Amino acid sequence: MRRNVLRHVGGLALLAILFLGATGCVSPEAFKVSEACGTEVDPGLIGQLLPRGDELKTKDTFSEPKQPRCEFEVDGEERVGLRGDVVEPFVKPLEVNADGMRRLGNPAPADIGDGATIADHGGMALRACTYQGEKMQFVLAIDGVENPEETTERRRLLEEFLRSQLPVAMEAEGCRP
């Protein structure tokens, strides 16, 4: 009987050690961000694209009318950039930025707005709009994305983010479809 009790206690102790060890290895939760570049963002979606860490800062960088810009800084290091631009209708942003998209890895077209490119570490989408009574187009770009680690999932989330954020960012900038 004593042997069974010791075996039971030993088993419980081993489970406790395994549990405590496992909880110490859990990575931090995804950040919850509800605003970036002066616009609302889907907190669950953008958080999946950001690296894990202890501290997140969102900084507006060089923003001005027609050009909202912000950077996500994790643990003191700039990681992900988000940009919007209202541009003339004759500008071809996907062509102009083709080299930049290639640097982000394996660019491919996506069915978002009036055109989009999704790469391994970023993406860009655009849509025609009217800005202050003139025909223009709005371009939304994100880069520096390393999360999630699995590339197929990262690309899926980038596409989902651009699809959901493009109309929100356009509206915030006063660019009407």
pLDDT, position 12: 37
For the chain, how many structural domains are there in total? 1
Confidence (pTM):
0.81
Domain that holds residue 114: 29-176
Sites in the chain below the pLDDT cut of 70? 1-28, 62-63
Could you say which DSSP state residue 9 is in?
Answer: H
Is 35 inside any structural domain?
yes
Is 37 inside any structural domain?
yes
Q: Report whether 171 contacts 108 (CB < 8 A).
A: no
pLDDT, position 27: 55
For the beta carbon of residue 3, count every other beta carbon within 10 angstroms. 7
Is 152 inside any structural domain?
yes
Q: DSSP states of 68-115 as a string?
A: -EEEEEETTEEEEEEEEEEE-TT--HHHHTHHHHHHTSS-EEE-STTE
Is 12 inside any structural domain?
no
Could you say which DSSP state residue 50 is in?
Answer: S
Is 15 inside any structural domain?
no
In the structure encoding, which two tokens stand for residue 29, read together? 């939760």
Q: Report whether 175 contacts 135 (CB < 8 A).
A: no
pLDDT, position 38: 79
Is 160 inside any structural domain?
yes
Q: Report whether 32 contacts 45 (CB < 8 A).
A: no
User: CA–CA separation, 87 vs 96, rounded Å?
Assistant: 12
- The answer to whether the peptide bond before residue 148 is cis (omega within 30 degrees of 0) is yes
Is 6 inside any structural domain?
no
pLDDT, position 60: 79
User: CA–CA separation, 8 vs 4, rounded Å?
Assistant: 6
Is 19 inside any structural domain?
no
pLDDT, position 115: 97
pLDDT, position 13: 38
